[in-house]
Amino acid sequence: MADNRVNPVPRHVAIIMDGNGRWAKERGSPRLKGHEAGAQSVRVVIKACRDAGVEFLTLYAFSVENWSRPKAEVDGLMRLLVRFMDDQEHELHENRVRLRVIGRLADLPDVVMNSLNRVMERTAGYTDHQLVLALSYGGRTEIAHAARRIAEQVKAGTLQPESVDEACVAANLYAPDIPYPDLLIRTSGEMRISNFLLWQLSYAELYVTPVCWPDFREPHFRAALDDYARRSRRFGGIEPEVKR
């Protein structure tokens, strides 16, 4: 059985960046200030991933449910995303990081998609590290999207119903070429995955920290990697025996 102690560095880390609102409330600030502070943590973690040898970093940046938040907050988040792309692009080039986006992208304002498309096109040639932003994303929405694509193929006669298996579903997800996360980090202490990568997280190791996302820094990220390195991943099997 697989034992990831042989390779202690996860290839793919996914993060639920939680606690921006709580962080702002504790300081008597508007929620948007928490999101602005959280942008610095994103910069820190991108660099920490590169330094640690993590190839893929997926960030849960905006869920399909987040559209129900107050319009002022949503509009502020969209402006912050455009500003982050403008400010961060040179660092992505410097670190040779490719930007990708998954989610229900048609929901996003044109100005946001224009900014994202510009950076994705300019970083498309980088292969060592990838930053994946989940925007207007929901795990159930993604699985429904895959089911709809499969149904269309069956209807068109290009796919037989008996050929629909796990590999077929996986091939119709938003980014089927990206390996599944090895490690999921959630900040602010909440014990749930909040409709994030429901298919892909089936065998991911979970790490929850009470630290709110705006305070999350490289030592916190290293602590998560160290914890991961001490685990044995069995993928439904049993603990391998240690030969003495």
Catalytic annotation present for 95: no
Task: List CB contacts of 170: < 8 A, sequence separation 6 or more.
Answer: 176, 199
Which of the following is catalytic: 4, 18, 20, 182? 18
φ, ψ at 51 (rounded to 5°): -65, -30
Closest by CA to 130, choosing from 200, 57, 39, 185, is: 57
Torsion of CA 102, 105, 107, 110, to 10 degrees: 130
Which of the following is catalytic: 3, 51, 66, 114? 66
Contact indicator for 32, 73 with CB cutoff of 8 Å: yes
Catalytic annotation present for 114: no
Instruction: Report the b/e string of 35-66 with b at 16+ CB within 10 A.
Output: bbbbbebbeebbbbbbeeebbbbbbbbbbbeb
Residue by residue, DSSP assigns 196-227 as: SSTTTTTT-EEEE-SS-GGG--HHHHHHHHHH
**Helices and strands: H and E segment counts in the chain:** 7, 6
What residues are labeled active site?
Answer: 18, 66
